[in-house]
Structure 1
Amino acid sequence: MKASEFEEKVWAVEGIRIVLRVDPNTEVADYTYKKAADESWRVTELIEKRIQKHVNGASHVVLQGDGEEPHGKVILRTIRKGYKV
């Protein structure tokens, strides 16, 4: 799947905004998860357990609702709530 499609799929499944720092047409592995990661996971856990193995070493970031990058210890519940205004 294309990097841009991967970002959209992560958003649809996880409710978390991921940005891959590659050309949007770069091929990465399909994001196969159907259920969101537990809300008590930290950003670092999501990256290590679900994102890294799909992006073929591509640089990536998580963005909060305000467009900033959260600290790796922030829990997913906090990030997800940040998108809701």
Structure 2
Amino acid sequence: MTQNISISTFEDLVFEVEQVRIVVRGNPRDLVQDYGYERKAAGNTSVTGWLETRVYPALDGKYSVAVVDGSGAIPHGRTHMSKLRGSYLVE
């Protein structure tokens, strides 16, 4: 059985595993399914593909999600996860 966690914890887990910041639009204390992944998605996965296969299923279609890149912008859905992750790095 899947453990339920708060939206706030879900956002933190996604960042910990995927190295990508998301914002789930909902009460931070609402409960959702655990993220459930230990390894990050492949770098050539699109943002849209990642949302559809990993994020949306845990939210049961009840919440909208914004993905935020390193500059604070919302990336295009065809952006690869590797490019998105790279936007957070500061040299």
Shorter-chain TM-score range:
over 0.9
Aligned to 2:80: 75
For the aligned residue pairs, the C-alpha RMSD in angstroms reads: 0.6
Unaligned runs of 5+ in 1: none
Q: Which has the higher strand share?
A: 2
Q: Which of 1, 6, 9 pairs up with 2:13?
A: 9
1:26 matched to 2:30:
yes
Q: Which of 38, 53, 56 pairs up with 1:52?
A: 56
| Percent of aligned pairs sharing the same letter | 36
- For this pair of structures, how many residues does the alignment match? 85
Length-normalised TM-score, structure 2: 0.91
Length-normalised TM-score, structure 1: 0.97
Runs of 4+ in 1 over 4 A off after TM superposition: none
Give the SS at the match of 1:28: strand
Flag the structure with larger Rg. Answer: 2
